[in-house]
Amino acid sequence: MSDPLLPLIVEPDALEAALGTDGLLVVDLSDPDKFEEAHIPGSVNLPYPSIIGPRPPAMGAIAAADQLSAALSATGATPDTHIVACDREGTAKASRFLWTLDVIGHRRFSLLSGGLHSWAGEGHPVETGPVSTTQSEYPVTQGTEGIADKDYILSHLDDGSMVVLDCRTPAEYDGSDVRSARGGHIPGAVNMDWTMALDRSRNFRMKPEEELRALLAERGVAGNKEVIVHCQTHHRSAHTYVMLKSLGFEKIRGYDGSWSEWGNDPDLPIEA
């Protein structure tokens, strides 16, 4: 497989210059009606629910391989396509898509820095209306890299080489905002609301590397540790996963069951 066409975090200027390049596909995770209102020229729409496979109470569980195969094939992507993901909601949906690609072993991908906020807000071209795609065949096999389940976390809770990074709000973390049967957090987890990584003054781009590293260091999140990220449904925390990946962290996993599973399982330990 050849090298990626673009870096993991791609700026709007660089993406505009690359539009039309053979093997490049922009995938927009926005809601279909919003996609038709305005989208990047040549991009295709992939509705977010198509990559989620709820298994109550784990409402954000990764979709089964056949569902992901159908979703990716509908975009016209192949395993060799370089996929640039975007959305108009702070890039969490786009990041969840990239996490999914990582789990199935698709390595050629980028996140549009700031998503549609930066693209449209900074004067880059947009198109309107529906878009037709050419069906491809994308076979999917779900791997084990980049993903953690509750048993994996439970078996590593006392492992000093692992840290659980809870990307929910402080109120969810301390149990004052209860969104499952129980409130609180996974024992030993540290909290960093995913929005702390976003720079709203720069159209929802990630903050500069030194600021992100400082935020992580304050919480004991270092590159020599395995980092497990989660939120309520591994939607918000997928952005943190991509952020960590962009900083060079190599041992990262996303817990797709997240608090919707952990907080609803009375047999799992919690702290508040």
Whether 231 sits among the annotated catalytic residues: the reply is yes
Region of 71 please: left (phi>0), alpha (psi -120 to 50) or beta. Answer: alpha
Catalytic annotation, pick one of 147, 164, 231, 244: 231
Question: Phi/psi of residue 239, each to 5°?
Answer: -65, -40
Angle (CA) 45-48-51 rounded to 5° is: 105
Residue carrying the six token digits 């508040």: 272
Residue carrying the six token digits 């400082």: 214
Residue 22 and residue 98 in contact, taking contact as beta carbons nearer than 8 Å = no
What's the rounded Cα separation, in Å, for the pair 90 and 250? 24
> 236-246 vs 92-103: helix axis angle to the nearest 10?
70
The closest alpha carbon to 103, from 143, 48, 60, 153, belongs to 143
The closest alpha carbon to 65, from 110, 27, 104, belongs to 104
Q: Which residues are catalytic?
A: 231
